[in-house]
Structure 1
Amino acid sequence: MKKIIAGVEIPDSVMTRAATDQIRSTECELMFHHALRAFLFGALTGYRGKLTFDAELLYVGTMFHNVGLNVQHHRSPYRFEVDGANAAREFLRQHGATESAIGQVWEAIALHTTPGIPEHMSPLIALLSAGVQMDVRGARFDEFTAQERDEIVQAYPRESGFKKKIIEAYSRGMVHRPETTFGTVNADVLDRWDPNYRRLNFCGLVLGSDWPN
């Protein structure tokens, strides 16, 4: 039976069911519901813009976009987005996706927290970022109807204190690798969360480099 929320059909295939099962078993309910809402907001953005996109790939991308925050990646030397992108790539290869599709999902996850870039790339990359940004910080909030927002939140609730809790989840996933936040919005997260965090400054790195002039 098809599941349709706010006019968006949830993809139902062997691959998407496997993605759902994997993420539901490894992420807390707060992050799992966030991923589902991000898919729905991303898909609605695509419909509104009359964009052509693969709903299955968008679904898998949103399912995996925060996997890099999980405890098994806390000692990773990479940005959490890269760890999530790598996990999605492995999953998609196991399910026979083409290298082109895998590359798009990888880029979509890797770039989803980089402002000003995804919207100029492929629809899949743009929509994953748009869906995440809408759910996390209310980007383009008024472009969604109250009915759309209500249906989505009713299906996959934003639990009490979601705003602070998701910042905490980001922080716990990055506090052990603060150097990976340089030049990204993730630096804002640790700057607010960790009293010992010291933000790197690009100008300071340039002026303090080993070059004589």
Structure 2
Amino acid sequence: MIFHHSRRVFLFGSLHARARNLRPDPELLYISAMFHDAGLLFPFSGTPQRFELDGADHARSFLLDRGFPASAADLVWRAIALHTTPGIPGRMEPEVAATNYGVLTDAVGWELNSLESGRAEEIVSAHPRGDFKKEFLAVFVDGLKDRPDTTYGTVNADVLEHFLPGFRRTSMVERILDSPWPR
């Protein structure tokens, strides 16, 4: 399921980039797409940081171990680390923007109707969605349930709040009011 999702992210991101006259490096975009959810999976799901950082760290190491320049590894790191962050990736490098656009399209249908006619059907035919909504959310819950504090301030808290009994997100207001400052 994650493989097909990641391939769709690459393909949807590529289409959105072309429509916006962005020119991402296709190899770096592909690596960003393929690693973007790696942090939800074992062995990364047990670390005490956001899953996006786990995937970004893994992709960065993967690239550096294979002789890619640090600048390319850092660019992929940003694309993965920011792929769930609303509003910011679209103002960054083409690889960062396109990764985010591909994720948004495959996960929530963002701009699906603006894609070239027939392209979405072609992509889904090659990389089927199956019961994506249910399976994808289950992967999120499995990848985050043992590290719920890492979801603070992210859309990931939405998933745990919906599926994990007893989970309650902490708000910024609570963090300020409960800080050690007297006033």
Asked whether the two chains share a fold, i.e. TM above 0.5, the reply is: yes
**Per-residue deviation, 1:181:** 0.1
In structure 2, C-alpha distance between the alignment counterparts of 1:70 and 1:134, rounded to whole Å: 21
Alignment of 1:15-94 (within 5 A): 30-94=1-65
Q: How many residues align?
A: 183
Which runs of 5 or more residues in structure 1 are unaligned?
A: 1-29
> Who is 2:98 aligned against?
127
Root mean square deviation of aligned Cα: 0.9
Structure-1 separation of matches of 2:67 and 2:42: 27
Q: Secondary structure at the match of 1:210?
A: coil
Structure 2 residues without counterparts, runs of 5 or longer: none
Mapping of 1:131-170 within 5 angstroms? Answer: 131-159=102-130, 161-170=131-140
Q: 1:210 aligns with which of 158, 180, 183?
A: 180
User: How high is the TM-score relative to the length of structure 2?
Assistant: 0.97
Q: What is the aligned-residue identity percentage? A: 45
Q: Which residue of 2 aligns with 1:175?
A: 145
- CA distance in 1 between counterparts of 2:56 and 2:124 reads 26
* Other structure's SS at 1:71 match: coil
State the 4+ residue runs in structure 1 displaced beyond 6 angstroms.
Answer: none
- CA offsets per residue over residues 56-75 of structure 1, 9 Å max, x none? 00001100011111121222
Distance 2:94 2:87 in 1: 14
- Which residue is equivalent to 1:110? 81
- Alpha-carbon shift at residue 146 of structure 1 (Å): 4.2
More contact order relative to length (CA 8 Å, sep ≥ 6): 2
Give the TM-score, by structure 1 length.
0.84
Give the Cα–Cα distance (whole angstroms) in 1 for the partners of residues 46 and 4 of structure 2: 25
Deviations 1:62-93 (A, max 9, x none): 00011111121222011000000011011101
Q: Measure the CA separation in 2 of the matches of 1:142 and 1:31.
A: 23
Give the Cα separation in 2 of the matches to 1:122 and 1:128: 10
> What SS does the corresponding residue of 2:46 show, helix, strand or coil?
coil
Q: For 2:67 and 2:150, locate their aligned partners in 1 and report how far apart those are by CA, in whole Å.
A: 31
1:9 paired residue number: none
Question: What do the CA deviations read for 1:25-69 (whole angstroms, capped 9, x no partner)?
Answer: xxxxx1100000000000011111111210000001100011111
The worse-fitting range, judged by mean Cα deviation, of 103-112 and 140-149 is 140-149
